[in-house]
Amino acid sequence: MLSVVLSACGTAPVASVKQKNDPVVDLSGKVQSLQRQLRERDKRIAELESQLEALKLIDQDYERQKKLLQPPVTRTPIQ
């Protein structure tokens, strides 16, 4: 019976070490997940910025074309 108690005591620290490692591994996984999410977010921001710049150029071209296509304003002399 004493050997059973001693063998059980011998495994107790190993179990507690496992429990201590699990949160560290869990945090490491969470950190990696958050880093991946940040990279994905940064890529999406870069895509949106690129699209915004393209839209700005399109808008500038549209405004330029609109000015060119407008007929000249004729003025009537004031009498």
| Separation between Cα atoms, residue 74 and residue 37, nearest integer Å | 59
Residue pLDDT, tens place only, 40-72: 999 999 999 999 999 999 999 999 998 888 776
Q: What is the pTM of this model?
A: 0.53
Residue pLDDT, tens place only, 66-78: 888 877 667 776 7
| Separation between Cα atoms, residue 37 and residue 70, nearest integer Å | 49
Q: What percent of the chain has pLDDT over 90?
A: 48
Specify the amino acid at residue 14.
V
